[in-house]
Amino acid sequence: MNAHRTIVGAVAFAATLSFLGPLTAAAQEAETPPAQKWSFSGPFGTYDPEQLQRGFKVYREVCSSCHSLKLLAFRNLADPGGPDFTEAQAGAIAAGFQVTDGPNDQGEMFQRPGRLADRFPSPFSNDQAARNSNGGGLPPDMSTLAKARGYERGFPWFILDMFTQYIEEGPDYIHAILTGYEDPPSGVTLPPGANYNKYFPGHSIAMPKPINDGQVEYSDGTPATVDQYGRDVAAFLMWASEPKLDERKRLGFQVFVFLIVFTGLLYFTKKKVWHAVKHDPELLTPRPPTEYNRG
Amino acid sequence: MSANSIYKPQNAFMQWMERRLPIAGLVYSSFVVYPTPRNLNYWWTFGGILTFMLGVQIITGIVLAMHYTPHVDLAFNSVESIMRDVNYGWLLRYLHSNGASFFFVAVYAHIIRGMYYGSYKEPREVLWILGVILFLLMVMTGFMGYVLPWGQMSFWAATVITNLFSAIPGVGDPIVTWLWGGYAVGNPTLNRFYSLHYLLPFVIVGVVVLHVWALHMVGQNNPTGVEPKTEKDSVAFTPYATVKDAFFIGVFCLFYAYFIFYIPNFLGHPDNYIPANPGQTPTHIVPEWYYLPFYAILRAIPSKLLGVVALGASIVLLAFLPWLDTSRVRSAKYRPLYRQFLIVFFLVVIGLGYLGSQPPEGGYVIAARFLTAYYFVFLLIILPLLGLFETTKPLPNSILESVLGEGVRAGASAPPASGAKV
């Protein structure tokens, strides 16, 4: 009876709070990354192996010259729910990388071609070397990047996202950064060596525009545009961050079918057990199970 | 009711056992014939849900501990290796990290129910205080668990929260150094947090045993707040409460599973997938969602020391509810004014939660100050005064009468009115 009033109150209250936002909004707000269509979104989403293969090509030919992918092993490329390379293909990719191994019997470290069990070698031997080659900025490792990036969704989206299952802020952000390079608007001066990106918080990004149209060749007729590269590499990085996504959603569906049936059965059991309490309350006496004698 | 609790096993071995260790009899009297008010609604299932979640957290936690490495250089990667290389490691970890959130969902529902129906009142004060202690233990355990993945938020949350102790005059800084095991949050800090994160859940189990023991001494409260008077006011725990709890644990698991399988990182912060970096402070340091109201209270107060005091008081004051609330009527159902103020109180806590997630500047701080003021005014002024001035609605004579509806068939079994109306 008072529920309506309570709900109205709650909504009014939340609305009041959300208006406080603009009062404090920072001046240099970055543009919101536009939401892309991802094959892996939603309860039945799965990775598109061809897209992951294209994304891997972009990573290998462009990103990997500065960004490491330390947590990924070559064997992962042949794992189910991934880019779907065969083990032979993954082995060939591994062999194309030089990996430091050792020390050998002479106590020396040595280089050898990569194997399936190896993790992706990093482009720089350490963080200091990476900074030194990149004007002081450290290119972040990309193993968990797609889950480590996002942007402020704000009220009421952060609540609605729960129901729409919008959790692709990370890939959307990565795609946006790759497509967000522009000439700085007049009146904006950037620190030396910095670049202007409309989606980067603060707009001043150390990474120069990494990729241009036509830079990576696609053999399957997919358009070779920055927009497409961005989508493909973001999908690849999402897989690198969350390699068990396909398995998770598949198991989730099975768990849901089980839980709904099981909870439904419990509901009807409960209804039957409580029938006497609800419908003939006067007659009810506590009724222990029959295996036991009552004193 | 006592007659019901006599356990007479038929089986020869159980008879032999019962004369030596009457554990089956204890279970029988506590969880089978134990009388439970017949009018309990679904808010009363959260006790069972909490027990279930504690079990889930301990079991998943023990397996995770088999694969986790508590070292600043290895912790982040060991968690990632659980996610990538351990069989169903991703499932274990998402069960555990979302399990913490759903543990808090359940405990907040449990607390809301206790406050709404006045479950803390005489004779349930000790039961309630044990509950507040359990909540405090959960807060500590959850916080230390959040530090273990050693991501950016882990590290900086640990830094911010341990630094709160530096507000203590005189001995603050030595205490912080002692907590850290060094001069900054580092490997010793991570190691002790891991050790305590493993220990505290078993302390929680111990206090839960006391909590259930105290519950079984005084019996459950119920939506009317009127104590059961005759046998007809109660039903046996098994099958009635057991099946109802089981059903609602199933419903709860549907929500829990939704988060685990479809939006497993929704309640986390993206920054925690960046390895901890003491040299780089995140733009906004925010705790997990379940601490946000308290975080907002902390930041609403300009003085650091008073902020910490307010933070502590906001939880510790709850332990004094049985005495802060002066009304003799338990249930908010019969306390129209209390009901209004209490619902506003719950909304204020939600509002504080939202403000805790926002940067501490401008309008947010002003709003947080107003809401913090209401939080304490409600507990310290409104509650004591309400009991003195509020006109309450007439209480039913018995639980049975409230179930049947007044005046219809109640006359048959309702005991004579004995000053139950306040």
- The predicted-structure confidence for A16-52, as pLDDT tens digits, reads as follows 544 444 443 444 567 899 999 999 999 999 999 999 9
Mind telling me how many Å the CA of A121 is from chain B's nearest CA? 16
- A139 within domain boundaries: no
Res. A148: pLDDT tops 90:
yes
B320: which DSSP letter?
Answer: G
In angstroms, rounded to a whole number, what is the distance separating the alpha carbons of residues B165 and B168?
6
Please give the average per-residue pLDDT across B29-43, as a whole number: 92
Longest dimension (CA), chain A: 91
**Which residues pair with residue A181 across a beta bridge?**
A197
Q: Which two tokens stand for residue B8?
A: 């007479």
List CB contacts of B220: < 8 A, sequence separation 6 or more. Answer: B36, B37, B40, B44
- A49 within domain boundaries: no
pTM for this predicted structure: 0.91
pLDDT recorded at residue A155: 84
pLDDT recorded at residue B93: 98
- A282 within domain boundaries: yes
Please give the average per-residue pLDDT across B365-371, as a whole number: 97
Single out the residue of B309, B324, B308 nearest to residue B377, CA to CA.
B324
Residue A138 in contact with partner chain B when CB distance is under 8 A: no
List CB contacts of A132: < 8 A, sequence separation 6 or more. Answer: none
pLDDT recorded at residue B150: 97
Q: Tell me if domain B29-281 and domain B286-396 are identical in fold.
A: no
Q: Which one of B274, B343, B404 has the shortest CB-CB distance to A6?
A: B343
CB B331 within 8 A of CB B118: yes
Distances (CA, A) of A265 to A34, A268, B95, B240, B244: 44, 5, 24, 15, 12
pLDDT recorded at residue B208: 98
Contact B83 A244 (CB under 8 A): yes
Residue A241 in contact with partner chain B when CB distance is under 8 A: yes
Exposure class string for B157-177: b at 16+ Cβ within 10 A, else e: bbbbbbbbbbbeeeebeeebe
Give the number of other CB atoms < 10 A from CB of residue B131.
26
Q: What ipTM was reported for this prediction? A: 0.90
Contact B260 A270 (CB under 8 A): no
pLDDT recorded at residue A212: 95
Q: What is the mean pLDDT of chain A?
A: 88
Confidence band of A281 (pLDDT split at 50, 70, 90): low
Contact B38 A277 (CB under 8 A): yes
B414, closest residue in chain A (CA to CA): A282
- A215 within domain boundaries: no
Residues of B in contact with A2 (CB under 8 A): 339
pLDDT recorded at residue A28: 54
Q: Which two tokens stand for residue A206?
A: 């150390």
What residues 20-59 of chain A have any CB closer than 8 A to a CB of chain B? 20-21, 23-24, 43
- What residue segments make up the domains of chain B, in order of their start? 29-281, 286-396
- A121 within domain boundaries: no
Q: Name the percent of chain A in helix, strand, coil, to the closest 5.
A: 45, 5, 50
Res. B412: pLDDT tops 80:
no
Query: Tell me, what amino acid is at B364?
Result: Y
- Taking only the tens place, the pLDDT of each residue in B118-147 is 999 999 999 999 999 999 999 999 999 999
B29-281 belongs to CATH 1.20.1370.20? no
Mind telling me how many Å the CA of B7 is from chain A's nearest CA? 7
Q: What sign for the dihedral angle of Cα B406, B110, B322, B218?
A: positive
> Into how many domains does chain A fold?
1
pLDDT recorded at residue A283: 55
The position carrying tokens 């990149």 is A134
Residues of the domain holding A278:
245-295
Task: Select from B243, B289, B292, B364 the residue whose CB has the most chain A CBs within 10 Å, as the one to mutate to test that interface.
Answer: B243
In angstroms, rounded to a whole number, what is the distance separating the alpha carbons of residues A155 and A22?
12
Q: Which one of B5, B234, B251 has the shortest CB-CB distance to A263?
A: B251
Contact A293 B8 (CB under 8 A): yes
- Taking only the tens place, the pLDDT of each residue in B78-114 is 999 999 999 999 999 999 999 999 999 999 999 999 9
Contact A150 B240 (CB under 8 A): no
CB B207 within 8 A of CB B89: no
Single out the residue of A28, A59, A58 nearest to residue A225, CA to CA.
A58
B33, closest residue in chain A (CA to CA): A288
- A256 within domain boundaries: yes
Helix ranges restricted to H, B117-221: 125-147, 152-163, 172-180, 187-218
Residue A198 in contact with partner chain B when CB distance is under 8 A: no
- A252 within domain boundaries: yes
Q: Which one of B38, B250, B344 has the shortest CB-CB distance to A259?
A: B250
- Taking only the tens place, the pLDDT of each residue in B148-176 is 999 999 999 999 999 999 999 999 999 99
Residues of B in contact with A294 (CB under 8 A): 3-4, 6
Contact B262 A43 (CB under 8 A): yes
Contact A295 B6 (CB under 8 A): yes
In angstroms, rounded to a whole number, what is the distance separating the alpha carbons of residues A232 and A40?
12
Q: How many helices (H) and strands (E) does chain B have?
A: 17, 2
In angstroms, rounded to a whole number, what is the distance separating the alpha carbons of residues B164 and B180?
12
In angstroms, rounded to a whole number, what is the distance separating the alpha carbons of residues B269 and B329?
43
Ranges of beta strands (E only) in chain A are 98-101, 110-113, 195-196, 204-205
Ranges of beta strands (E only) in B250-383 are none
Confidence band of B408 (pLDDT split at 50, 70, 90): very low
Mind telling me how many Å the CA of A109 is from chain B's nearest CA? 23
Q: Which one of A13, A147, A255 has the shortest CB-CB distance to B261?
A: A255
Compute CA B176 distance to the chain's CA centroid, rounded to the nearest angstrom. Answer: 27
CB A197 within 8 A of CB A217: no
Contact A262 B351 (CB under 8 A): no
Residue A12 in contact with partner chain B when CB distance is under 8 A: no
**Higher confidence at residue B349 or residue A290?**
B349
CB A118 within 8 A of CB A99: yes
Phi, psi of A195 (to 5 degrees): -125, 155
Confidence band of A290 (pLDDT split at 50, 70, 90): very low
pLDDT recorded at residue A284: 54
Res. B421: pLDDT tops 60:
no
**Higher confidence at residue B361 or residue B152?**
B152
Compute CA A34 distance to the chain's CA centroid, rounded to the nearest angstrom. Answer: 16
Contact A267 B247 (CB under 8 A): yes
Q: Could you give the 3-state DSSP secondary structure of residue A13?
A: helix
Residues of A in contact with B403 (CB under 8 A): 281
**In residues, how long is chain B?**
422
Give the number of other CB atoms < 10 A from CB of residue A77.
24
B416: which DSSP letter?
Answer: P
Res. A108: pLDDT tops 60:
yes
CA atoms within 13 A on the CB side of B301: 19
Mind telling me how many Å the CA of A16 is from chain B's nearest CA? 10
Res. A9: pLDDT tops 90:
no
pLDDT recorded at residue B328: 93
Res. B420: pLDDT tops 60:
no
Q: Could you give the 3-state DSSP secondary structure of residue A55?
A: helix
% pLDDT > 70, chain B: 95
CATH superfamily of the B286-396 domain = plastocyanin oxidoreductase (1.10.287.980)
List CB contacts of A34: < 8 A, sequence separation 6 or more. Answer: A172, A176
pLDDT recorded at residue B419: 41
Please give the average per-residue pLDDT across A76-92, as a whole number: 96
Contact B243 A43 (CB under 8 A): no
pLDDT recorded at residue B417: 41
The position carrying tokens 């208006």 is A19
Phi, psi of A73 (to 5 degrees): -105, 155
What DSSP element (H or E) covers A9? helix A3-24
Q: What is the mean pLDDT of chain B?
A: 93
Q: Which one of A149, A162, A286 has the shortest CB-CB distance to B4?
A: A286
Highest-pLDDT range among A233-237, A279-283, B279-283, B389-393? A233-237
Contact B246 A10 (CB under 8 A): no
Ranges of beta strands (E only) in B207-354 are 234-236
